[in-house]
Chains A and B, each alone.
Chain A
Amino acid sequence: QPIASRSSGSSILVSPRQKGNPILTHLRSFAWEYSDILADYILGLTTCALFLSLKYHRLHPEYIYNRIKLLAGKYNLRILLVMVDIGNHEDSLKELSKTSLVNNVTVILCWSAPEAARYLELYKSYEHANASAIRGVESKGYAEKMVEFVTVPRSINKTDAVSLVSAFGSIRAAVNAKPEEVAIVSGWGEKKVQKWCSVVDEPFRARR
């Protein structure tokens, strides 16, 4: 059982309605405490979550709409954490997609209690995080970048990339190489050669 009266800012607030929900036992990395709240979970100043099991939803389809109504547009980000625990989920999910559009909630699916708990923990831990991890600003070494660059066309693998660039010395030389020259590199069969030579010469956009 959670120890009460820790500073609420750093813990996840849980509605007493959630008592007995198995995902609580998987909430291990963050402290959590019961609190009288409208949503099921408070994950930050502007973030809250409702939990819905599809099994329950099928029996009581009106439940979730009442809960959403109760939130009354509070919170900037309202998560609807849906646990997919039935086989024929298609119709329910279709309906929930429509709901999310009409009622401004964001649907997140999970498939097990640990996964649901992990989502809650992630939301809490990223409360103040910036989005740099998904903005694609990664710093990598030249070797990795080089391999990544050469292996974009599907048929070319890592070994090919290393052998190509080591045969020509630089990427520029490899880009400028003639098909016959590339063909001598070990491991480069006709298909790869053709792919490589056409992709570097292909115009980015269609001209007329």
Chain B
Amino acid sequence: MSSANGDQQPVRLSLPLKYQQELFQELRQKDELVILARGLGLLRLVTNLLHSYDAAGNHLILVIGAEERENGWIGESLAEHAAISMSPKARGLNVVNTDVMSVGTREKMYAQGGIFSITSRILVVDLLTNLLNPETITGLVVLHADRIVATSLEAFILRIYRQKNKVGFLKAFSDNPEPFTTGFAPLSTMMRNLFLRNVSLWPRFQVLVAQSLEGKKKAEVIELEVPMSDSMRDIQNAIMECVEVSIGELKKANSGLDMEDWNVDSALHKQFDLVVRRQLDPVWHRVSWRTKQIVNDLTVLRGMLHTLLTYDAVSFNRHLDTILAAHSPPPGSTRQNQSPWLFLDAAHTIFDTAKRRVYTGKVVKAGAEDIESLRPVLEEQPKWAILTEVLEEIDRDLYFNPVVRDDSNNTVLIMCTDTAQCRQLREYLQTMHIRPGGDEATDDEENEHEPSAAFMMRRKLRNYLKWKKEFAKISASLFAENQTALDGAKSTKNISNQAFRGKAPANKRRRVRGGGAAGSGTSRASNSPGSVLAAEDKPLEVATLISEIRPTEVEAAQKEEVVADPLDDMEDYYQLYDMQDLVLIHAYDGDMDEHVLEEVKPRYIVMYEPDTSFVRRVEVYRSSHNDRNVRVYFLYYGGSVEEQRYLSSVRREKDAFTKLIKEKSTMSVVMTLDAHGVEDPQEAFLRTINTRIAGGGRLAATAQPPRVVVDVREFRSSLPSLLHGRSMVIVPCMLTVGDYILSPNICIERKSIKDLISSFKDGRLYNQAETMLQHYKSPMLLIEFDQNKSFTLEPFADLSGSLSSVSSNGASDLQSKLVLLTLAFPRLRIIWSSSPYQTAEIFESLKTQEAEPDPIEAVRIGLEGGQRAEDQSFNREPQDMLRVVPGVTSKNIKNLIIEMGSLKDIANASVDELEPIVGKEAGGQIHRFFNKSVFDDG
């Protein structure tokens, strides 16, 4: 941190601005929830706070809810602070985020004290097993407080903490005010979840903040509205039309829902697809497949809106090609199964216009042999030209106004959304003065001195055509399989013939390309009688492609050596540059941008895309430093989605804060009621007795509180927290069989609807039921619906007639699978629960008059000889992926996981290595799956 305060404080802080200091003092004094506007330096505040405790020493402070990068940031800054203020007691940050650390190590670490950032799932287990005694904790710091809901793990942690420890401090932070405003009295609910009484709001328009940022040291801002090109606007309009139609379809298919917000206007906003998802979520397991598809389509379309503005014309076209391929129909599909937007004229406009931005094939018919007439269009992004102008202006400015003595470097910082964009801009700036054609070039004499992207675009086009050729083959080979399934032997022969043409000798390159594309074109067209778009589009494309290749190939032959690999100049990054006169391109990266500003000290900043929080960061940066002048250029496309999004994000944040302030002013009553949010243990005990009497009247059982053995993996769900809330003792264990053990006889496998569907699909549930039956007298399957989801399995669609095609293999819907399951396991009981709350009650009633479970026995059950509980695996995602691989079965997956380290190992293993683990046939299958090359066909 650059400027530490000069005054004699016990610890040195890096909070130069008035509002930061005020907030810090407030936080030192009391427990509260701080909601700060984005970009005002939340993490810096947190680290300063942590440091002030760190420096005092002798403490145990837990940070929960931190992401990995935030851990990195906090760790670094704490070390830095410690070095600056030379406090001997400061220990820095310990991160506990996987189970790699053994129980013993963790216990030792906790005993030593310090600041810990712990993954919630590990922390909750450690607290429950008393590995970490809640009474020894000095305080908790909660980040991302907006994510905490009543049933979340963090809320569970806070409850355990507050039950046992009433003196430790508790401070919660959030820089995301929007979630606090949805629902009924959301702020007070949140406060209750957090066990906090005070909230402190710091919007951008707060007096102190405004004073600090709008003083004399304001940054100079130049706004530049860039008009979109005509074709870009056309595409944007066409996409919006597709969005509109998709929304219309959605409304039609789900007439029962509240869909006021579902219009194109709100579709522009950042989280429209999330909003739709959230509204559909209660009925998600009931909506038709088609609805799900349309929701996915909306995500895709919105992605296109973004890529239209950020990608260059060629990459955009390429991206569209991929989208089209991925959305091609699966085998045996009919028109109904396809995304509806693909059938629209607008979709045609999108693909067509996108292509015409790259090259146009129309001219071909006029002069067949003439090279000049077949020209690639290669439209440039309008922002590029503006960016060059800006850079020139900066150059001039530097030249005419030689350095004013101040602290900033003469560096130009360009900020954009993502690394792909960075790469694009970097390449553009590097190559904009290179003439593409050299002497032989034909078409660029008039604009000799204008910088242009022609070189880059031509290179991209060449790559694109190369890629296109391969991609055509790939999709042909991917589709060949579908073809087999669909049409039988005859057309397969046909396809493989075509595909073979794609592999013609390399010296006849021109024909190869045309052939490859033709192959894919026909295969796709014949594959899907309903896919109007693909069928119509392709022949034209093939013609264009063939005509297109000539001019570029001439050029390619001349310019092959100049073509830069995007990774070639990677080493350049690792040199030390003088910070003067550099142009740096960076992607927005949340709080990390603060570091960038502090380190680079730029005099000029170009915001290539608008970003609210970065604007604030610049303000904070500028105001924090007396002697650094900053000039900001702010680029945006006029009338574009980008502009709309920026404006609406500013507005929504402001609205959210206004709402919060209003709620805060009327909240006091609720808070006094909630001061005793933590239950009195005595009360809890009394309740235990009560329910016991109601259940079975065996008062003797109260001597021992009810106990449930819970699989540690289950802590992802909210049920353990709720069971704990009903004053049951939770014993976290590593279970092989079942998720919850209620008694020596009762073993429960919990499935949410989503899990249920997926575990039916991969057969996991069948095996789980099988093992439960082996080891327990009363195995049960708990089907748990979500609190907010509708409590029914009934699909919206009409049921009548659906049985006509029933067969044991055709069982596709949930109901028929349930029927099969109960038929296969008559002893398996099914519990239906409408919410986790309900489940907790059911568990309680099931447990009455049953003996308490024995954790040691529960852990032992299902382990085969020699296995230890600690061998049980944790990382679920790689396992889920592995399960998909053909040849992997529920039987051999165990061996694979134990013998092989990771997916990478399995992918790289040879057949000989796999054979001893899974057997010959499966080994071959696995090996083939990973090594099959999509460049070959069949």
Contact = CB atoms under 8 A, between A and B. Distances in A.
Interface string A143-167: 1111011001100011101110110
Nearest to A161: B326
Interface string A185-197: 0110110000000
B832 interface: yes
Given A171-B930, A199-B881, A134 B766 contact: yes
Nearest to A168: B934
Given A115-B799, A206-B100, A122 B815 contact: yes
B803 A93 contact: no
B873 A205 contact: yes
A201 B904 contact: yes
Interface in A106-141: 106-112, 114-115, 118-119, 121-123, 125-127, 129-138, 140-141
Interface in B442-489: 470-471, 474-475, 478-479, 481-482, 485
Contact of B878 (A170, A200, A207): A200
A136 B762 contact: yes
Nearest to B850: A101
Given A109-B832, A130-B808, A152-B877, A170 B934 contact: yes
Residue of A28, A95, A136, A181 ringed by the most chain B CB atoms within 10 A: A136
B262 interface: no
Interface string A67-101: 00000000011010000100001100111011011
A187 to B, nearest CB: 6
Given A94-B845, A126-B819, A134-B760, A175 B903 contact: yes
B712 to A, nearest CB: 11
Interface stretch (B317-325, B407-415, B533-541, B717-725): B317-325
A20 interface: no
A156 to B, nearest CB: 11
A161 B300 CA distance: 14
A112 to B, nearest CB: 6
A94 B838 contact: yes
A184 B792 CA distance: 44
Nearest to A76: B826
A141 B485 contact: yes
A143 B478 contact: yes
A101 B834 contact: no
A206 B99 contact: yes
B111 interface: no
A110 B818 CA distance: 12
Given A97-B845, A119-B819, A186-B322, A208 B102 contact: yes
A205 B872 contact: yes
Interface in B810-836: 810-811, 815-824, 826-834
Interface in B284-325: 296, 299-300, 303, 307, 311, 315, 318-319, 322-323, 325
B819 A107 contact: no
Contact of B874 (A46, A97, A175, A205): A205
A18 interface: no
A76 to B, nearest CB: 5
A55 B887 CA distance: 49
Contact of B800 (A100, A114, A136, A142): A114
B98 interface: yes
Nearest to B834: A90
A31 to B, nearest CB: 13
Nearest to A80: B830
B418 interface: yes
B822 A77 contact: yes
B196 to A, nearest CB: 31
Nearest to A121: B803
B935 interface: yes
Nearest to A149: B884
Nearest to A150: B881
Given A186-B315, A205-B897, A165 B934 contact: yes
A123 B874 CA distance: 38
B419 A190 contact: yes
A202 interface: yes
B481 A142 contact: yes
A183 interface: yes
A144 to B, nearest CB: 7
B604 to A, nearest CB: 25
Contacts of A207: 100
A176 B901 contact: no
A133 B817 contact: yes
B682 interface: no
A103 to B, nearest CB: 10
B932 A171 contact: yes
B79 interface: no
Contacts of A97: 831-832, 842, 845-846
A114 B799 contact: yes
Interface in B861-892: 870-875, 877-882, 884-886, 890
Given A97-B831, A145-B886, A204 B900 contact: yes
Interface in B376-426: 418-420, 423
Contacts of B110: none
B804 A29 contact: yes
A35 interface: no
Contacts of A208: 100-102, 870
A15 interface: no
Contacts of A106: 822, 826, 828-830
A2 interface: no
A85 B859 CA distance: 41
A29 B765 contact: no
A44 to B, nearest CB: 8
Residue of B100, B470, B478 ringed by the most chain A CB atoms within 10 A: B478
Given A200-B878, A201-B904, A79 B766 contact: no
Contacts of A180: 567, 570
A77 B566 contact: no
B845 A98 contact: yes
Nearest to B105: A208
B128 to A, nearest CB: 19
A98 B829 CA distance: 10
Contacts of B907: 171-172, 175-176, 200
B791 interface: yes
A77 B935 CA distance: 53
Contacts of B101: 208
B929 interface: yes
Given A141-B485, A159-B326, A186-B311, A131 B766 contact: yes
A11 interface: no
Contacts of B780: 101
Contacts of B823: 47, 77, 123, 126-127, 129, 131
B222 interface: no
Interface string B339-356: 000000000000000000
17 contacts: A77-B826, A93-B832, A94-B838, A106-B829, A108-B830, A118-B803, A118-B815, A122-B806, A126-B811, A131-B821, A134-B766, A152-B880, A159-B326, A183-B420, A199-B878, A204-B900, A205-B897
Q: 3 closest A-B pairs (Cβ-Cβ)?
A: A136-B763, A129-B808, A205-B873
Given A141-B485, A146-B929, 8 more contacts: A106-B830, A129-B823, A142-B481, A142-B932, A158-B327, A161-B326, A184-B420, A203-B901
Interface of B: 98-102, 296, 299-300, 303, 307, 311, 315, 318-319, 322-323, 325-327, 330-331, 418-420, 423, 470-471, 474-475, 478-479, 481-482, 485, 566-567, 570, 587, 746, 760-766, 778, 780, 791-794, 799-800, 802-804, 806, 808-811, 815-824, 826-834, 838, 841-842, 845-846, 870-875, 877-882, 884-886, 890, 896-898, 900-904, 907-908, 929-935
Interface of A: 26, 28-29, 46-47, 76-77, 79, 84, 89-90, 93-95, 97-98, 100-101, 104, 106-112, 114-115, 118-119, 121-123, 125-127, 129-138, 140-146, 148-149, 152-153, 157-159, 161-163, 165-166, 169-172, 175-176, 180-181, 183-184, 186-187, 189-190, 199-208
